[in-house]
C-alpha cells in the first residue's frame, strides 16, 4: 500500500482556556489545554464515505483502523493507497481500493450530519449499526506485552500530561 503522509501535523496543545484549579489547599489560576478538533472526511476512491470530528494527528493510522473496523477491507494490504491532504476547513483522507469491495459497504455510508463522534450517526440502516462485530482470529496478544503497552501509553498522551 502506498501511504502519502501529510507533513507530520501535530495537534495544537497550546493553552486556550483560563480557569481556576481548585484543590484542598485552595484555588489558583490555571491554563487548561484543549485538544484541537477538526472535520476529517474519509473518501473511498474519491467519494465521501464519512466525516468525523477528530484530533488531526496520526490520520493515517486512524484511516487504516477505520477501514478495518468498518469492514471496508479485511486487511490493511487490501488498500491500494492512502493519501492525506489538508483542506480549507479540515482534512481529507482518500483510501483507494478495488472498486468491487465498495459494493459491500454502501449500506454503511454516512449521509446525515452526526451530532457525536461515535460513528453511529448518519448510518443509513439500523442493520448497518447493529451488525455483529467481525470474528477475530489469529494469535492472542501476550499478557506481558499488553502490560508493557499500558505502562508506556501515558508517555504518548500529550494532552493527559498537560492537563493531569
CATH number for position 100 = 3.10.20.10
The answer to whether position 80 is within a domain reads yes
Whether residue 142 is contained in a domain is answered as no
Please check whether residue 125 lies inside any domain of the structure: yes
Closest to 43 in 3D by CA, of 71, 15, 63: 63
pLDDT in tens, 36-69: 788 888 889 998 888 888 888 889 999 999 999 8
Q: What is the mean pLDDT of residues 108-136?
A: 58
Residue 95 lies in a domain: yes
Partners of 142 in the beta sheet? none
Residue 163 lies in a domain: no
Give the total number of structural domains in the chain: 1
pLDDT at 15: 47
Tell me whether residue 116 is in a domain: yes
Catalytic position from the list 118, 126, 140, 145? 118
**H helices present in 35-90, as ranges:** 59-69
| pLDDT tens digit sequence for 62-82 | 999 999 988 889 899 999 999
Count of residues for the chain?
164
118 carries an active-site annotation: yes
Whether the model clears a pTM of 0.85, i.e. scores above it, the answer is no
Cell triple for 23: 484543590
In a domain, 44, yes or no: yes
Distance CA 37, CA 52 (A): 10
Q: Give me the pLDDT at residue 121, please.
A: 57
Whether 155 is in a domain gets the answer no
User: Which residue range forms the structural domain that includes residue 87?
Assistant: 2-135
Amino acid at each position: 500500500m502506498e501511504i502519502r503522509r501529510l507533513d507530520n501535523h501535530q495537534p495544537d496543545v497550546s493553552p486556550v482556556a483560563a480557569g481556576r484549579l481548585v484543590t484542598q489547599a485552595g484555588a489558583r489560576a490555571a491554563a487548561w489545554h484543549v485538544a484541537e478538533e477538526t472535520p476529517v472526511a474519509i473518501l473511498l476512491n474519491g467519494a465521501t464515505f464519512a466525516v468525523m470530528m477528530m484530533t488531526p494527528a496520526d490520520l493515517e493510522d486512524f484511516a487504516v483502523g477505520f477501514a478495518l473496523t468498518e469492514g471496508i477491507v479485511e486487511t490493511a494490504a487490501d488498500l491500494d493507497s492512502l493519501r492525506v491532504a489538508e483542506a480549507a476547513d479540515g482534512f481529507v483522507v482518500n483510501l483507494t481500493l478495488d472498486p468491487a469491495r465498495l459494493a459491500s459497504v454502501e449500506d454503511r455510508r454516512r449521509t446525515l450530519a452526526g451530532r457525536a463522534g461515535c460513528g453511529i450517526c448518519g448510518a443509513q440502516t439500523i442493520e448497518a449499526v447493529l451488525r455483529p462485530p467481525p470474528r477475530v482470529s489469529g494469535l492472542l496478544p501476550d499478557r506481558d506485552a499488553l502490560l508493557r503497552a499500558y505502562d508506556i501509553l501515558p508517555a504518548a498522551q500529550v494532552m493527559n500530561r498537560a492537563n493531569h
